[in-house]
Amino acid sequence: MDQIKARNENAHKWISAISKESWASFYFTGDRYDVITTNRSELLNAVLKNARKLPIASLVEHTRWKTSAFFQKRRVYGDEWRTQLTNYAEKHIRLEKEEILQYVAYRAGLHVFEVRSVQIQDSVNLHLQTCSCRVFQTIGLPCGHAMAAIAITKEKNPYSFCKPCYKVDRYRQTYDEVLYPTLDHTQW
């Protein structure tokens, strides 16, 4: 923000007037599962690029076929997993487990923990699944601070602190649906 202010005072005032939740992922309060996408219409245009000039019935069938192929690819991909979490989440947990060696966690309350390292101090609430670094609540997976707090609890299982969308079972359920072909126009 200081760099923006130094370059353009009006731009700084304009951005400052907008709530941070609207433009800074650090302050975003909704679930985004560590995914930031571009305009959805661009995605749809890219998928339907070759079918845009088709008659409407053909366009609908093409869209269904593309979606069905998309689901099938992910169905096969998800069936290969033998873990509790998706590959992305498993990798995140593995990397954050390596981080806990630099942290010391202390219980500050029933669900609240103080986590310290040489340089920083963070506060973790396992019940609310929040951390002052905001990674835990932003992506829905425990950060290193939360992992350190989890390690000193009876639970000791970081998987129980992951949002359901990262569970392999939920991923599989997402793509279980069969998209049946539309009937020929003579059968409408």
Q: Which residues pair with 130 in a beta bridge?
A: 125
With 0-12 / 13-18 / 19 or more C-beta atoms within 10 angstroms meaning exposed / middle / buried, residue 108 is middle
The residue-averaged pLDDT of 43-48 equals: 76
Residue 105 belongs to domain spanning: 31-179
Share of the chain above pLDDT 90, in %: 49
Residues in Cβ contact with 19 at an 8 Å cutoff, skipping those fewer than 6 apart: 27
pLDDT in tens, 65-89: 888 898 899 999 999 999 999 999 9
From 11, 29, 8, select the one nearest 20 (Cα to Cα). 29
- Assess whether pLDDT exceeds 80 at residue 28: no
The model scores a pTM over 0.75: no
Task: Check pLDDT > 90 for residue 90.
Answer: yes
Whether 33 shows a pLDDT value over 60: the answer reads no
Amino acid at site 171: Y
Q: Determine contact, residues 136/146, Cβ cutoff 8 Å.
A: yes
- Assess if residue 142 is contained within a domain: yes
Evaluate whether residue 51 is within a structural domain.
Answer: yes
Cβ within 8 Å of residue 87, ≥6 positions away: 81
Structure confidence at residue 155 as a pLDDT band (50, 70, 90): confident
CB 162 within 8 A of CB 140: yes
Answer yes or no: is 19 within a domain: no
- In angstroms, the first-to-last Cα distance of the chain is 58
Q: How many domains does the chain have?
A: 1
Residue 47: band (very low, low, confident or very high) from pLDDT cuts 50, 70, 90? confident
What is the reported pLDDT for 61?
A: 84
Whether residue 6 lies inside any domain: the answer is no
d(C-alpha 28, C-alpha 22), whole Å: 7
* Residue closest to 63 by CA, chosen among 78, 77, 43: 43
State residue 58's pLDDT score: 83
